[in-house]
Amino acid sequence: MSAATRDQTREIHMQVMWNRLISVVEEQAMTLLRTAFSTSVREAGDLSAGVFDPEGRMLAQAVTGTPGHVNTMAEAVLHFIDEIGRQNMFPGDTYVTNDPWKGTGHLHDITMVSPSFKGHVLVGFFACTAHVVDVGGRGFGADGKSVYEEGIQIPIMKFAERGVVNAFLVQMLRANVREANQVVGDFYSLAACNDVGHRRLIAMMEEVGLDTLDDLGAFIFARTRAATLERIAALPKGTWTNRLTTDGYDKPVTLQATVTTHEAEVNVDFTGTDGISRWGINTPIIYTKAYACYAMKCVVAPDIPNNWASLEPFTVSSPENILNAPRPAPVSLRHVFGHMVPDLVLGALAQALPGRILAEGSGALWNIHMSVRPAAGQQGQRAEILMFNSGGMGARPEQDGLNATAFPSGVMTMPIEATEHAGPVVIWRKELRPDSAGDGQYRGGLGQIIEIEPAKGHEFEFSAMFDRTLNAPRGRNGGKEGKKGTVALDDGTPLNPKGWQHVPAGRKLVLHLPGGGGYGDPALRDPAARANDISKGYISGDRK
């Protein structure tokens, strides 16, 4: 066999192994989806899963999962290695944290890391993250004044050692959360997910005769890094700045990003962003970085697999501000501004790459956490219910925006039946919101209208986590802005877009989610496309 043939054979072999590795982590994620107790994980896919080399560098991620979880997890594994110490790692171990600054940005996300040993040799790590329904404290909301009010904090520690679960940690969890069975069940689901990944990896290595992942890792990193640097080198070189105004909590918040392209690096700097808030809407830099890198990668290298090597050329810097909030700032709703970061960064990139960047969309998920209880004098069920909802996506340069689609988080729509099954609420309405999309040559995506009522004899407190109610998603290249969102009771009583509020028995909560901005001059829209919008009820018949 010639040297060229040997090299080609090795290339094919390594590519097959790479694909096998991706299959391993996808099965890891599917295990979590199938076994999770929380609807946010089981129904919406609010999770991540990945495999790492012995140095803590991400080799591959599951397709299932959110950028915020995946990209923070990619950095979090290094914190686990530093704090546990390799000398304290054993087969059968699982480590856990919900530290917002060393995990994924707030206390509701649980990250678990498990070392993978082949015999007595450490060959890698598996990691996963999922959002749990409750961590105690004030609950999932913006009203805390420090992280200490927001729930139980779990430092990086062992959930299990040599296969034996830390019973004291489980006991502590049960004493500090409202939905103990759901939360503890999700902890075991996370641990099981890593265990499945480990068993599949070792089986694959034994099948093909691998003792370590060193050669495969070197192949993966070399290919992805070279491909990413090639794309970065082709970018225009310069500096571009964008500003975005968001609703904030009690006053608007301005976010600012400056993107600078170099020959082998793209940097985003958040100087100019408003300072730290006294409310729980701050974002740790680990989460800001996750979504900034995601936005850049969507434009520069969307088809290149996401791993340590393809992420490394994208860097983030920031002084202390609302997007780089230090401990002990309240950070429960870090996702609201975190989900705005891609629109912010993409707005800067649109100046460098005209005609290639979509319009602004709803951005932040319209999450709602309901704490349901029997009304005064009534008997009934108590429950904690988390529901994820999405507004419209911005229009794209050559296509309409997607309706009611979670960009950038990518979580799935939660079925009404799953939400009603979780506790005593009735979803009377969940449908597309007519005339909510920004007009343009390409129309923005539509938002939704959602009506929720406590079941008979019940009432609920809910945590509003909404944005784009004062500042609409902007269009691009002449496209019109999308429609702002609204929050109210069915009798017309307006409610605040953030904070804990009350829905009494017999009343409905009515949410109008924002639509995405349009792209291009509306006069250039295809008449057939506009007629189709009218026939489907997306826009009113008098909107020409």
Instruction: Among 308, 338, 355, give the residue marking a domain's end.
Output: 355
Is residue 263 pLDDT above 60, yes or no?
Answer: yes
Closest CA to 18 of 317, 218, 267, 159: 218
Assigned domain for 181 exists: yes
Assigned domain for 527 exists: yes
Assigned domain for 415 exists: yes
Whether residues 375 and 348 fall in one domain: no
CB 411, CB 66: distance < 8 Å? yes
Give the full edge-to-edge strand order of the sheet including 458-465: 383-387, 367-374, 458-465, 498-503
Whether residues 62 and 132 fall in one domain: yes
pLDDT tens track for 411-444: 888 889 999 999 999 999 999 999 999 999 999 9
Whether residues 113 and 240 fall in one domain: no
Q: What is the pLDDT of residue 544?
A: 46
Whether residues 16 and 66 fall in one domain: yes
pLDDT tens track for 266-321: 999 999 999 999 999 999 999 999 999 999 999 999 999 999 999 999 999 999 99
Instruction: Among 181, 212, 243, give the residue marking a domain's end.
Output: 212
Whether residues 378 and 494 fall in one domain: yes
Mean pLDDT computed over 342-361 = 97
CB 66, CB 44: distance < 8 Å? no
Is residue 135 pLDDT above 60, yes or no?
Answer: yes
Return mean pLDDT, the chain: 95
Whether residues 340 and 382 fall in one domain: no
Q: What is the pLDDT of residue 9?
A: 78
Is residue 400 pLDDT above 80, yes or no?
Answer: yes
Residue 408 preceded by cis peptide, ω within 30: yes
Assigned domain for 220 exists: no
Whether residues 151 and 259 fall in one domain: no
Whether residues 473 and 345 fall in one domain: no
Whether residues 478 and 523 fall in one domain: yes
Using a pLDDT cut of 90, give the percent of the chain over it.
92
Instruction: Among 355, 370, 402, give the residue marking a domain's end.
Output: 355
Whether residues 333 and 368 fall in one domain: no
The rounded distance, in Å, linking the Cα atoms of 362 and 391 is 5
How many domains does the structure of the chain reveal? 3
Is residue 541 pLDDT above 80, yes or no?
Answer: no
Residue 328 preceded by cis peptide, ω within 30: yes
The rounded distance, in Å, linking the Cα atoms of 368 and 313 is 36
Residue 11 binned pLDDT confidence (cut-offs 50, 70, 90): confident
pLDDT tens track for 93-116: 999 999 999 999 999 999 999 999
Is residue 542 pLDDT above 70, yes or no?
Answer: no
Mean pLDDT computed over 470-489 = 98
Expressed in angstroms, the distance from the first to the final Cα of the chain is 69
What is this structure's pTM?
0.95
Q: What is the pLDDT of residue 45?
A: 85
Computed on alpha carbons and rounded to an integer, the radius of gyration of the chain in Å comes to 24
Assigned domain for 224 exists: no
Whether residues 283 and 350 fall in one domain: yes
Is residue 3 pLDDT above 80, yes or no?
Answer: no
Assigned domain for 310 exists: yes
Is residue 1 pLDDT above 90, yes or no?
Answer: no
Assigned domain for 227 exists: no
pLDDT tens track for 187-225: 999 999 999 999 999 999 999 999 999 999 999 999 999
Is residue 144 pLDDT above 80, yes or no?
Answer: yes
Assigned domain for 222 exists: no
Whether residues 319 and 454 fall in one domain: no
DSSP string over 203-266: HHHHHHT-S-SHHHHHHHHHHHHHHHHHHHHTSPPEEEEEEEEE--SSS-EEEEEEEEE-SS-E
Q: Which residues contact 235 (CB under 8 A, 6 or more apart)?
A: 261, 266, 300, 352, 353
Range of the domain at 310: 234-355
Closest CA to 496 of 258, 279, 171: 279
Using DSSP's 3-state secondary structure scheme, residue 10 falls into helix
Q: Which amino acid is at 121?
A: V
Distances (CA, A) of 472 to 171, 323, 365, 481, 499: 46, 21, 15, 6, 20
Is residue 543 pLDDT above 60, yes or no?
Answer: no
Mean pLDDT computed over 139-152 = 95
